């Protein structure tokens, strides 16, 4: 029997990629249980992780699962109150439900905006301190911290993925460095579900971009082998004229 993976935020963009691109995670041997507050277009469990009563429903849904992929979040800058209830409290509820249900591994969708005030261009190691660029970035840094706590204190295998521009294709010259293709998103999450983990793990998530500056060694150590390169779209993107960092830009999912 295929191991079960609970996917929160299954109706979102990355959730759709994990379900459909190149057969998604199912083609890689995973049975998916979908969770979202909106209908993803196939059988799912309706749970709003921002609600204080979501914990019991999440715990019941995760019973017997091998892992959870936590994507559910507000995917952009918003008010502190909204991000607190969904992205921070919601991540706590997902991890606590996983602990109660005996789930072995949690893969958390973090973001490049957790480190968005580092300048672009220089090699970015995953072990440097967070420098969030927005309240959204703060919420993702908090998610990484929660994953670290549940790993160190409670023994869960927590993998946080600092995802770049995970969209169909890069839109600007800046995106040429941080694009994560739909196909590579599937490969990255599959590696995060399978790869060797020793304590809390934070890795960057981009494709094998010619202009990349993020260090992918941590993701590769999990077994991630990116196959795409944003450079194929170099003649189609717009010129980026903003600051040489992510700070202040609207976050992408």
Query: Smallest Cα–Cα separation from 177: which of 211, 228, 216?
Result: 211
- Are 15 and 182 within 8 A, CB to CB? no
- Residue tagged active-site, from 136, 150, 204, 224: 136
- Are 37 and 71 within 8 A, CB to CB? no
Rounded CA-CA distance 212/230 in Å is 9
Dihedral angle, C-alpha 75, 223, 4, 42, nearest 10 °: 50
Q: What is the token pair recorded at 60? A: 């019941």
Angle, vertex CA 91, rays to CA 164 and CA 166, nearest 5: 15
Backbone angles phi, psi at 108, to 5 degrees: -110, 130
Which single residue is written with the structure tokens 């277009």?
Answer: 41
Give catalytic status of residue 204 as yes or no. no
Q: What is the token pair recorded at 234? A: 């170099």
Q: What is the token pair recorded at 150? A: 């549940």
Rounded CA-CA distance 87/50 in Å is 8
Helix axes 135-152, 89-101, angle to 10 degrees: 20
- Are 17 and 185 within 8 A, CB to CB? yes
Catalytic residue set = 136
């Amino acid at each position: 029997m295929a191991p079960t993976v609970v996917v929160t935020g299954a109706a979102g963009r990355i959730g759709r990629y994990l379900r459909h691109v190149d057969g998604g995670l199912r083609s890689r041997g995973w049975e998916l249980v979908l969770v979202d507050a909106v209908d993803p277009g196939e059988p799912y469990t309706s749970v709003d992780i921002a609600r204080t009563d979501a914990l019991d429903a999440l715990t019941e849904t995760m019973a017997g699962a091998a892992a959870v992929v936590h994507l559910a979040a507000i995917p952009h800058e918003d008010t502190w109150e909204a991000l607190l209830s969904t992205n921070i409290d919601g991540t706590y509820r997902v991890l606590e439900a996983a602990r109660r249900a005996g789930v072995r591994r949690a893969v958390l969708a973090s973001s490049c905006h957790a480190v968005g005030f580092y300048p672009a261009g220089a090699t970015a190691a995953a072990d440097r301190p967070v420098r969030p660029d927005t309240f959204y970035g703060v919420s993702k840094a908090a998610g990484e911290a929660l994953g670290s706590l549940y790993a160190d204190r409670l023994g869960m295998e927590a993998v946080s993925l600092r995802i770049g521009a995970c969209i169909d294709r890069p839109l600007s010259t800046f995106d040429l460095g941080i694009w994560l293709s739909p196909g590579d998103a599937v490969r990255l999450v599959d590696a995060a579900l399978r790869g060797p983990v020793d304590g809390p793990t934070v890795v960057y998530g981009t494709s094998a971009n010619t202009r990349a500056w993020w260090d992918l060694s941590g993701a590769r150590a999990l077994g991630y082998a990116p196959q795409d390169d944003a450079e194929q779209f170099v003649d189609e993107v717009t010129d980026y004229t903003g600051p040489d960092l992510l700070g202040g830009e609207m976050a992408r999912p």
